[in-house]
Amino acid sequence: MQTRNKILDDLSQLMTNAMGVAQGAKGEAETAMKGLMDRWLADRDFVTREEFDAVRAMAQKAREENEALAARLVALEGKPKAKGKK
């Protein structure tokens, strides 16, 4: 019976070591894939969410100022603004 327990112990130890190696390989693969994706995204010149939100806020402010100036111009000229014309 001692021989059988020794075989099972060795098999158990082998499986434990194999799982440790597999988990280490998984971690290395995840790190490599993340690095690859980060480099790929950086090469594409995508903007960050913060940059996008800042530009969108600037565009909204410019649009509001443009509308206010157009209304002021109409009031100063005394003419109604024509719709559909630039």
Across 27-45, b (16+ Cβ under 10 Å) vs e yields eeeeeeeeeeeeeeeeeee
pLDDT grade, residue 84 (50/70/90)? low
Tens of pLDDT, residue by residue over 16-61, are 998 889 988 998 999 999 999 988 888 888 888 999 999 999 999 9
Which pTM does this prediction carry?
A: 0.44
Contact predicate 58/51, CB 8 Å: no
